[in-house]
């Protein structure tokens, strides 16, 4: 497990070393249009969408508590990246979480189903993977996922770092 964690972290770092010619996820004109078409975004949602669109890294994150509007923000992100030629595919650890992610208009399945498909051929297609509740993915699932990424793939990890901590899963200390 430690080897897999180190490899996963290494691949993420490697993928996030921005090259001088690495383009933003969505060009300025397209991201402005996507945001302007969605005036219902509050300032925090707007800022999150702008930062995701402007990102040049392969793997970025969206962290927010339940109820702050991550799904609304993801719908705008989906719209902008699709307008930029990306295919958007989402997955989540449970069917319930996958159904909530699908509310953003993203083609979604469970993490297990996505990984069961196996390695897809590298066609040069640009894909944005949206991984909801990413903190709940196992070490093996994340390792398998990041090792299958192709050069043109991008990833948006979504979750709530306050939702579940390692401490909450441990039994209480002895008295």
What average pLDDT is seen over the chain? 87
| Domain assignment of residue 128, yes or no | yes
Q: What is the pLDDT of residues 99-136, one digit of tens each?
A: 999 999 999 998 888 888 878 888 889 999 999 988 88
Question: Which residue range forms the structural domain that includes residue 115?
Answer: 2-15+24-162
Task: Assess if residue 174 is contained within a domain.
Answer: no
- What's the 3-state SS for the chain? CHHHHHHHHHHHHHHCCCCCCCCCCCCHHHHHHHHHCCCCCCHHHHHHHHHHHHCCCCEEEEECCCCCCHHHHHHHHHHHHHHCCCEEEEEECCHHHHHHHHCCCCEEEEHHHHHHCCCCCCCCCCEEEEECCHHHCCHHHHHHHHHCCCCCCEEEEEECCCCCCHHHHCCCCCC
Count: domains in the chain = 1
């Amino acid at each position: 497990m430690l080897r897999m964690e180190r490899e996963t972290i290494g691949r993420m770092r490697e993928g996030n070393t921005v090259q001088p010619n690495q383009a933003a996820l969505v060009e300025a004109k397209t991201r402005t249009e996507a945001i302007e078409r969605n005036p219902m975004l509050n300032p925090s949602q707007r800022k999150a969408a702008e930062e995701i669109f402007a990102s040049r890294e392969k793997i970025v994150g969206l962290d927010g508590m339940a109820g702050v509007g991550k799904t609304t923000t993801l719908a705008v992100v989906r719209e902008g990246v699709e307008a930029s030629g990306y295919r958007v595919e989402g997955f989540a650890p449970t069917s319930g979480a996958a159904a909530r992610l699908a509310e953003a208009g993203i083609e979604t399945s469970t993490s297990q189903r996505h990984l069961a498909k196996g390695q897809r051929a590298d066609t040069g297609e640009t894909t944005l993977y949206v991984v909801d509740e990413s903190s709940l993915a196992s070490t093996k699932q994340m390792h398998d996922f990041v090792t299958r990424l192709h050069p043109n793939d991008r990833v948006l990890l979504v979750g709530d770092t306050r939702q579940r901590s390692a401490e909450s899963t441990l039994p209480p200390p002895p008295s």
